[in-house]
Amino acid sequence: MLTPLETKLLGVMMMVIMLGMGASLTFRDFLIAFRKPKGVLVGILCQYGIMPFLAYLLAVLLGLPPALAVGLILMGCMPGGTTSNIFAYFSKASLALSIMMTSVSTLIAVAAVPALIAFYSGLAGVTGAFAIPAANVAQVLVVLLVPTLLGMVLRKFNPNIGATVELIGSMLGILVILFLVVSWVPRNYQLLLSTPWQVFFVAIGLGLFGMLLGYWLARALKQDGNRSRTISLETGIQNGPLAVLIVSLTFTGVMQQQVLLIPVLYSLFIVLSSSVVTVWYRATATREALARDAAKVRLVPA
């Protein structure tokens, strides 16, 4: 489990990350998104339609006990994280769409996430001490909205400082995951050694299956390859540190350790699996760009 100091440090880190996310946005970005909302709407459908159901399905099919099931469902219901923006950039996807999806999914998370957790936890039969109170989730999300809005205001009044804060927030997203791994894994290596394969399967599969389903649903809804790859990354890459923070503020002792298992493992493996997917997506984007350039050359009259 996380110590009280680590929980407080994680909370501060999350606020800085959300400040950085807010600093990546302007109010004009939202106006543009509302004028052409299809990409964002498809992305949100994938984010909150695919991932919670996928987490529930995996928990039921593999017969996970309540502690693991609630950790998996919580992970599936999280909004996108700023880590996805980094992977979108390196995969040559649509960074603007990635940032908007992360931001919009975080803003509507205050209402969507508590409702989805309650619905799918109840459907999976997770009740009693393992049920995460909706009020706890909503309070954490509301608190994290404050630095997001402050970041937007900061970007408006001082773009240079806003850009610096944006960069710090994005990089801190990766550092938080490393912090979780370095602080949690060594103290719980015996638990990991006794962890059944099903737990590792869902921790890895949630992100990979989410990216795969997100891509094909986006294609089915008439999004082009570039936007579909963006939506794919945004769908599969959830805000792992936020899930860890919610668990740390909700549970204590052995129960906290058990519920934390999947969110921490997911946060570790999503960086590895997303790196592989990013290399593939980047190569695909490069091939498409070369094909377009070749087509333009053929159209130029001799």
Neighbours of 137 (CB within 10 A): 26
Mean pLDDT of 62-81: 92
Per-residue confidence (pLDDT) for residue 301, from 0 to 100: 59
Point out which residues pair with 80 in neighbouring strands: 238
Where exactly are the structural domains of the chain? 4-297
CB under 8 Å, gap of 24 or more: what pairs does 141-146 form?
141/106, 141/109, 141/110, 141/113, 142/110, 144/14, 144/15, 144/18, 144/106, 144/242, 145/18, 145/106, 145/107, 145/110
Residue 158 has pLDDT above 80, yes or no: no
Lowest mean pLDDT among 82-91, 126-135, 150-159, 169-178: 169-178
Higher pLDDT, 184 or 273: 273
* Residues 4-297, CATH architecture: Up-down Bundle (1.20)
Nearest to 255 by CA among 156, 160, 170, 132: 132
Nearest to 7 by CA among 247, 293, 274: 247
Nearest to 141 by CA among 295, 2, 15: 15
Confidence of residue 221 (pLDDT cuts 50, 70, 90): very high
Mean pLDDT of 196-208: 93
Q: What angle do CA 187, 192, 197 make, to 5 degrees?
A: 165
Per-residue confidence (pLDDT) for residue 103, from 0 to 100: 82
